[in-house]
Structures are given as C-alpha cells and as structure tokens.
Amino acid sequence: MKAEIVSVGTEILLGEITDTNSSYLAGQLPLLGIDLYWVSTVGDNRNRIVEVLKRAWGRSDLILVTGGLGPTEDDLTRESIAQTLGEEMKVDAALEKWLRDFFASRRFAMPERNLKQATLIPSAQALPNPRGTAPGWWVERDGRILASMPGPPAEMQRMWQFEVLPRLRPRLTGEIILSRTLKNYGLGEATVDEMLSPLLSSTNPSIGIYAKPDGIHARITAKGKTREEVQPLLDEMEAKSRRILGKYVWGVDDETLEVVVGNLLKRRKLTLATMESCTGGLLASTITDVPGSSAYFKGGIVSYSNEAKTANGVDAALIDKYGAVSHEVAAAMATAVKTRLSADIGIGVTGVLGPDTLEGKPVGTVHIAVDAPGRSEVYPRNLNFPRLQAKRLATTAALFNLRAILLDMG
Amino acid sequence: MKAEIVSVGTEILLGEITDTNSSYLAGQLPLLGIDLYWVSTVGDNRNRIVEVLKRAWGRSDLILVTGGLGPTEDDLTRESIAQTLGEEMKVDAALEKWLRDFFASRRFAMPERNLKQATLIPSAQALPNPRGTAPGWWVERDGRILASMPGPPAEMQRMWQFEVLPRLRPRLTGEIILSRTLKNYGLGEATVDEMLSPLLSSTNPSIGIYAKPDGIHARITAKGKTREEVQPLLDEMEAKSRRILGKYVWGVDDETLEVVVGNLLKRRKLTLATMESCTGGLLASTITDVPGSSAYFKGGIVSYSNEAKTANGVDAALIDKYGAVSHEVAAAMATAVKTRLSADIGIGVTGVLGPDTLEGKPVGTVHIAVDAPGRSEVYPRNLNFPRLQAKRLATTAALFNLRAILLDMG
C-alpha cells in the first residue's frame, strides 16, 4: 500500500511550529507494512491544498491529512477535500448534536462558525475526537482511502490509534516491519560497529548502529507477514548481539537508565543518596523522574561550593590537599552523603564543566565515585562537551557505573 | 520571492529521524521576506526526487534542498538536480583536491566513491562545508535559484548561515518580517488574551498569544522594507504590552528565567541555596544550567526523605505537626538551607507529585518558600500535571517567585 502524508498549516511554513505529526505517522507506517512515498506541507490556502490533494489522490492508495479542521475561516481542509472529490459538504445531524452537547457541557453557547466542524461529504464517515471540537473524516472511494485528522498532536495521535488504525488494519495485505533497540553504554560507536560487524551483513533481520545521548543504540529491524513470523527474527538477532556486547547492553527500546537502576535497587532492597557538584542536581533530578523513586532515593546534596561539601561531611583537609575536583574528594563525597542520609549506597560526582578550568584541571575532567556495601569505586571521565550535554553525559555515566556495581552484587 | 523546501531522505519517510531542517529553514525565511509555499519530503529514489524537483523548478523562485549529498549509492540529490536541469556532472579539480586533503589530514585514504562529492554541473558553484565531506551546490539559472545543502543539521545550518544567506541577501526585494516574544508568568492564557485585547486587532505590528511550558508568550510580529523600519514597530508594541502586563513579563525572546534570576543575584551581590523535595533536584539543576552560576549558587539539598530534611536543619517536630508537605515546612526548609550553606537567600520547595496522595494532601499540592533578607514568603501552588511537567512547572514557579522578590528589593 502506497501512502502519502499531507500536512496543512501556514504556521508550519512560517516555522512557528514544527510538524511532529508527519514524523509520528511516518514512524507508524512501517509497522503496518505501508510504504510512505511523499510528505507534503502546504499552507492554509484552498487552491494549493486542492492541488496537493488532487496529486495525492492520483498517485497514492492511502492519504493521511493533518491540520486545518478548526472552526475558523483559515481552516480549509474539509472544503478542500470536498472540492478535490467534487462532493458537497452537509451538516450531519448527529455530529451537530454531539458538538452542541460538547459546548453545553462546558456551559458555553456554541459559536455558529463551529457548525462547519459538524459537516460531512457523502464518501466520508466522521472520526470521533474526544479531545477537541474537530471530528476527523474517513473517506473511502475509488479504491483509495483518505483520513483527515486534527493538527494538535494529542488529538491527532488519539484519533490515529483509536479510529484510523482499526479501520486500516483489515485492509492491509503487505509485510510488516518491527524493530528493537539495544541500548549500550561505555563503548564508542566505531567499537560497537566493529564488534557487531559479523552481523551487519544480515538483511532480514538487519542491524544499524546509532550514537545517542544515552550511549550507542543497536537497532534490529525485521520484516515478514505477521508479528508471529517477525518476533523470532528479532529475538534471535538480539541474542546474538547480546552475546557479543555483554554487560554493555543496559536496556531495550524505551527503557531508561534511571528506571533500570531503580528496579535493581528495589530488587536488592537498597537505598541511595547522591552528592554532586558539576552535575548541579541533574543526577538527583533524573533519579526522581521515576514515579515511586522515594522508595529507594533518600536524597541528595548539590555541593556547588566547598562550603556545601564540608557542611555535609567532606573533610576540608582533603579538599585542600587534592582539590575539589579529584578522585579522593569524589570518594569522600560518596561516603559522606551515604553516612549523612543513612543510605546503603552513596554516589559522588565532581568535575569541571567550564567555562574556566578549575584548580588547574582542564574543562571536562569528571570523577564519579560509588560507595556500595563491600565495594567502592571511583571512575575518571573526560567530558569536554558543551555544558548541558556534559551534565547529561556525567549523569548517564554515574547511573551506568551504579548499574554495573548493582549487577555484580548478583 | 516564492520559496519551496525539498527534503530528501528515506530515513525521514521511515520515521527514523525527524526533519528538523525544514522547520529551521521555515523559521529563517520570514526574516528575509521570502514566502514559503511548499515543503516536500521524498525518499532516496531518483525518479521521485526528479519529479519533485521539476515541479519545484516550474513554480518556485527559490528551492532549498537538504539531504542526499553523502558518498553512498543512496545519495542521489546531485544526480537528480543534474537530470532535472539536463546538465552533466563533472569532477571539479579544486573540489577534488579539497576532498583528498580532507581525508589526508585525518590520515585516511579517500574511498573512490567519495569522488562524486567533488562534482559540479555548469550552473552550479560549490558551497564549502567545513563540518563534513559534502560540499553544497548553489545553482542559478533561468531566474531561479536552487541551493542544495547536506542533511546533518549542524552542517546544513552552517552552510545556510555562511554560504547561502550571503548569496541570497543581495537578491532580495520583498518585505522582511521580524518578531519579538514577551514571556509572562503568573497569568492564564485567557487572562493575557483579555488584558491585551485592545492590541489584538492591530495588524502591523500584530500580536499573538501562546501557552508554553515557561508561561504565556505574547509574540509581536511586524513587517516592512528594512530592519530600521520594522524595529520601531516592535518597540512601540512592546512598550504598550509592557504597560498592560507589568511585572508579569519576565523575559524577552531567548531569555530564560534562570539567566534572568542569575543576573539579578549578581547585580545585587546575593547568594542562593535551595532545599527541594518534589522537584527532586531539577531546581538546582536548572539554576546551574547557567555558566558561571557558581558565583551566586552555594548549593542545594534534595530532601527526598524526612531524614534528609531533619539532617539538614528542618525541625522534626514541625514535620510531625504539619506534615512534610506544608506551608510551615516549606518555610523551614528555605531558612534551614540558607543558614546551613551561609547563603543570603534560601528557597524551599515541597509538594506531592504522585502517583499517590501524601499525608492526605492531593497530588499537585506544592508549597514554595523564599527566605530573603528582610522578607519571607510562602506561595501555595496546585500543579496537578504529569510528573515531569509538574517538576518543570514547580521549578519555573520557584524561579519566578524569587525574581519577584529580587525585583522588589529595588
């Protein structure tokens, strides 16, 4: 099935909003075995919308239209579809009732201009939109399908999942494509590429390597007639990759390091505390992004001054001797915060992120310490990157180091 | 000048990457008075690229092409432009030398397939690319301009700014559009809309209102022949808006609250410390996103357990009496951390972000305290939003409250 996306909205052409709907839909279609050939963006201009729709109707089996379903004069998608197909728009009694009820339930009188949101053409069915006032259209004629969805991403995505997908599935015949991502940390992109090179020539499943902020992703992609046929291909390639990459693989697909670490802490019934300087609170904030993290995270110190370090149990003599950015002080920070907040494990992070060097240490110098029962480690890192990226990388490194130690605890 | 963007790449159609180049370029064109009419995305298929380019060449004055300039067989943009214009690609000696030097400087032998990156057609000039191996093409013929740039955003943006823009400017004749954004906090979207309603009917400058994560943005847009003509229109509308919105306006354009607050602290020579529970470190992390923040930020406590609160000077009896999520404990947190880290100002943030209620207090309850010289305030907030959004909103609220107090200090 040959598909095309048409995205309607002058605000996209003015660069005021980014069209995330097209990339969302583009990511959905391979899973259905639908080939996407074109994406077009057009402004709120009836002639140009009709021109784009006519071309799409002439060359594609499935046309996904987003945007332009609002109540204002600028919203011209319905009118343009009707004109493209030579059909007439009429107010649908059921839609009108739904729309009036929608406004009544919010104690508003419905502005009359909203009435055009209750229209249909003979080839169209309405697609309900519980998140807004714009129902979509499902148009089927001449062996073609056109689905028109609202522009706000939350409304569009719900309509896609609950209205368009179920109508589309029974009409599909092609192959489906599934993918699975193995997330790695601690290896460079070229190293992962080299390690996985025996697998890279495989075409189904195939494997691709991508550098991402949380490490190197190996994405396995496979296709076939059904999910049942494709899953084993993914499983087999995942097993082969894991045999090669070993403990560097920390997660799959949407998993995050903070969730992986949180689960390990819960399973081992261990609590955690952090003292961080250069990451400035990002480590604690990342850990507490996980709902329920208060079960294992006791708290943290953002020791952005030496005063904050010594007030929380780091020996001032140690800072004098080795400097705040040192192996020794990182270790002392981990131990001090562990003791201070009665946690089982302490993490200490200290470093120089610039703009200037500190204590003669170059920008990018970072020490990460983990003080866990029966084991203390300090890891040196060189993270000479722009400030926010370096904060993120140091946070990821700290979580990855903690994970390694938790795994070794068996 | 009528413009069109053509974005080339199968990985965009597969949803593997989002096309941020088109929205970047779309945002640049209004500033030049160039009207963008169409954006098209097409895969790495020569027939389809040529079809899209022929249509663009037929209807647009300026065609911006991104992607497809790599060395592989899938990279077909050069070949497609040549075919569209009926011209022949030839290796350019100067480009070839540059490319071979590029590889030599990295101690690599140049793979022969890279040679196609050194080709030109008679109507094309090369656009240098210091960030990669793909030079762009500037094509000028038949009163039309086509600029072909590489797909990686860092390479594309540099080439746009340093190579395409300077060639484009002398050819521009149209009006330019400039905009300025006033960022507000503490008022709802509808309230801002109502307050600014006397200004909303103005068309040049015009004003639009948008809800964003850091508050409500009022964007002023104006057009005219030159920057000198447009700037005063923006200035005048900004002044009118500020007279209405007053202290709710906290920043302009790219300013962030953390930078605004940091500048106020530096100007007043005051230092800051934070104790936060529900924001989990995000407040400290946001403050330390600013380079040089160590000049005024002493540090923070992430008091994710009562233990972490009492270990840092919050009276346990207060927690017993009022609960950890209370006006009283927020105030005690601000005072305790201010004392503990010898700062001039302390901020305390405590709240319930769920998933469960706490101490019988509903999810979304947040108290923000600021303890400043001569003035202490506690602000109650209701932030019943998804976890990460609520953390972000509470952080924004705390910074905004701090700003208000710093401003009052005169």
pLDDT band for B45, please (50, 70, 90 cuts). Answer: very high
The beta-strand segments (E) located in B142-245 are: 144-149, 176-184, 206-212, 215-224
Q: How confident is the model over B354-383, as a mean pLDDT?
A: 92
Task: Please judge whether A13 and B391 are an interchain contact, meaning their C-beta atoms are less than 8 angstroms apart.
Answer: no
Q: Does B254 touch chain A (CB under 8 A)?
A: no
Task: Please judge whether B342 and A18 are an interchain contact, meaning their C-beta atoms are less than 8 angstroms apart.
Answer: no
Q: How confident is the model over A330-334, as a mean pLDDT?
A: 98
pLDDT at A361 over 80: yes
**Which among B14, B29, B308 has the least Cβ separation from residue A26?**
B14
Q: What pTM, to 2 d.p., does this model score?
A: 0.77
Task: Please judge whether B40 and A40 are an interchain contact, meaning their C-beta atoms are less than 8 angstroms apart.
Answer: yes
For chain B, give the percent of residues with pLDDT over 70. Answer: 100
Cβ contacts (< 8 Å) between B40 and chain A: which residues?
38-41
Of B88-97, B115-124, B188-197, B294-303, give the lowest mean pLDDT range.
B188-197
To the nearest whole Å, the CA of A91 is away from the closest chain B CA by: 30
The pLDDT value recorded for residue A30 is: 84
- Range among A7-16, A203-212, A385-394, B121-130 with highest mean pLDDT value: B121-130
pLDDT at A187 over 90: no
pLDDT at B104 over 90: no
Tell me the per-residue pLDDT of A220-247, one tens digit each, with 9 for 90 and over: 989 898 889 999 999 999 999 999 999 9
The pLDDT value recorded for residue A401 is: 95
**Which among A29, A288, A342 has the least Cβ separation from residue B304?**
A288
The Cα–Cα gap between B21 and B257 comes to: 28
The Cα–Cα gap between B38 and B3 comes to: 7
Q: How confident is the model over B196-223, as a mean pLDDT?
A: 86
Cβ contacts (< 8 Å) between A297 and chain B: which residues?
280, 304-305
Task: Please judge whether A311 and B30 are an interchain contact, meaning their C-beta atoms are less than 8 angstroms apart.
Answer: no
For chain A, give the percent of residues with pLDDT over 90. Answer: 72
Tell me the per-residue pLDDT of B321-366, one tens digit each, with 9 for 90 and over: 999 999 999 999 999 999 999 999 999 999 998 888 888 899 999 9
The pLDDT value recorded for residue B351 is: 96
Tell me the per-residue pLDDT of A34-46, one tens digit each, with 9 for 90 and over: 999 999 999 999 9
The pLDDT value recorded for residue B117 is: 93
Q: Which of residues 268-287 of B touch A (CB under 8 A)?
A: 273-274, 279-287
pLDDT at B188 over 80: no
Residue B335: closest CA among B345, B327, B326: B345
Mean pLDDT taken over chain A = 92
Which of B8, B12, B13, B221 would you mutate first to test chain A, the one with the most A CBs within 10 A? B13
pLDDT at B97 over 90: yes
Task: Please judge whether A302 and B274 are an interchain contact, meaning their C-beta atoms are less than 8 angstroms apart.
Answer: yes
The Cα–Cα gap between A32 and A10 comes to: 30
pLDDT band for B274, please (50, 70, 90 cuts). Answer: very high
Cβ contacts (< 8 Å) between A7 and chain B: which residues?
39
Cβ contacts (< 8 Å) between B355 and chain A: which residues?
291-292
What is this model's ipTM?
0.76
To the nearest whole Å, the CA of B236 is away from the closest chain A CA by: 23
**Which among B304, B355, B388 has the least Cβ separation from residue A298?**
B304
Cβ contacts (< 8 Å) between B280 and chain A: which residues?
284-285, 287-289, 293, 297
Tell me the per-residue pLDDT of A88-123, one tens digit each, with 9 for 90 and over: 999 999 999 999 998 888 777 788 888 999 999 999
Domains and CATH numbers, chain B: 2-171 (3.40.980.10), 176-252 (3.30.70.2860), 257-408 (3.90.950.20)
Q: Give the residue on B whose Cα is nearest the Cα of A19.
A: B23
To the nearest whole Å, the CA of B396 is away from the closest chain A CA by: 15
To the nearest whole Å, the CA of B93 is away from the closest chain A CA by: 32
Residue B156: closest CA among B355, B40, B5, B341: B5
Contacts of A157 (CB under 8 A, 6+ apart): A24
Q: Does A323 touch chain B (CB under 8 A)?
A: no
pLDDT band for B190, please (50, 70, 90 cuts). Answer: confident
What's the farthest any 2 CA atoms get from each other in chain B?
A: 84
Q: How confident is the model over A276-297, as a mean pLDDT?
A: 96
pLDDT at B35 over 80: yes
The Cα–Cα gap between A14 and B35 comes to: 8
Q: What are phi and psi of A250, to 5 degrees?
A: -110, -10
The pLDDT value recorded for residue B336 is: 97
pLDDT at B278 over 90: yes
The Cα–Cα gap between B56 and B54 comes to: 5
- Range among B27-31, B69-73, B270-274 with highest mean pLDDT value: B270-274
